[in-house]
């Protein structure tokens, strides 16, 4: 047999849908909209009430409907506050602690082409080697010393020495070991005679003590 129900009774399924809509609205307002709990609860309650009124009210009637077994009322789940998920900031926006210095950029490597330029600059910075002993284009005041006073220098040797720019005793007396080696390399067939005959020592005696004293010392080769 069919049982005639009260068509004016509210629709419980509509109210259940309205309550679910309120819960969903609450979650969206808190998580997405960043609402506080109290305003979010108020708005979600209003949304649940409106949805319940629309879906739960008896908007029409029907004749006898088959009897439906009574449904147990299911308690709506308590509203829970959804936890906001932590959103990690992108690596580009992570703040660097103020106490930590920023890494220094490495200087760009200098091109290898600079090496020759440096070598050239160093070579230019080095002082030039001494030009050697003092040389004259001609004798001072047109009169050369008699270099034959020095033992080991004869007429041919004197001409060769003059041709190399040496005309006076003080020039030979001022020769260093390096000067002797340089001049000796220019002595053609007379190489080695400067050191062997001790030209520099004899010239120094002539310059410092005079010719007369040198001649006396030359008798015993005391120089």
- Contacts for 170 with CB less than 8 Å, ≥ 6 apart: 203, 207
> Closest Cα partner for 24 from 47, 57, 49, 50?
47
CA distances from 163 to 75, 157, 158, 201 (A): 132, 10, 9, 22
| Mean pLDDT across the chain | 75
Model confidence, pTM: 0.43
Q: What is the pLDDT of residues 166-203, one digit of tens each?
A: 999 999 999 999 999 999 999 988 899 999 999 999 99
- Paired tokens of 187: 């002595």
CA distances from 184 to 176, 187, 193 (A): 12, 5, 8
> Average pLDDT per run of 10 along the chain, which is 223 residues long?
51 76 77 74 78 66 46 51 52 49 62 55 54 92 95 94 96 96 92 94 95 93 86
- pLDDT for 48 equals 74
């Amino acid at each position: 047999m069919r049982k005639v129900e009260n068509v004016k009774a509210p629709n419980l399924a509509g109210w259940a849908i309205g309550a679910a809509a309120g819960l969903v609205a609450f979650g969206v307002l808190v998580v997405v909209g960043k609402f506080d709990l109290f305003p979010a609860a108020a708005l979600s309650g209003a949304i649940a009430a409106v949805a319940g009124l629309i879906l739960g009210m008896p908007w029409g009637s029907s004749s006898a409907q088959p009897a439906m077994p009574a449904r147990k009322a299911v308690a709506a789940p308590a509203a829970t506050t959804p936890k906001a998920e932590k959103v990690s900031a992108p690596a580009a926006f992570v703040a660097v602690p103020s106490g930590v210095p920023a890494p220094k950029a490495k200087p760009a490597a200098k091109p290898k082409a600079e090496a020759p330029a440096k070598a050239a600059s160093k070579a230019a910075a080095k002082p030039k080697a001494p030009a050697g002993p003092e040389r004259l284009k001609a004798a001072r005041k047109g009169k050369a010393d008699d270099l034959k006073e020095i033992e080991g220098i004869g007429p041919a040797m004197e001409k060769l020495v003059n041709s190399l720019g040496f005309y006076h005793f003080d020039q030979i007396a001022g020769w260093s070991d390096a000067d002797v080696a340089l001049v000796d390399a220019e002595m053609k067939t007379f190489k080695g005679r400067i050191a062997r005959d001790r030209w520099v020592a004899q010239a120094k005696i002539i310059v410092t003590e005079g010719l007369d004293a040198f001649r006396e010392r030359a008798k015993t080769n005391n120089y």
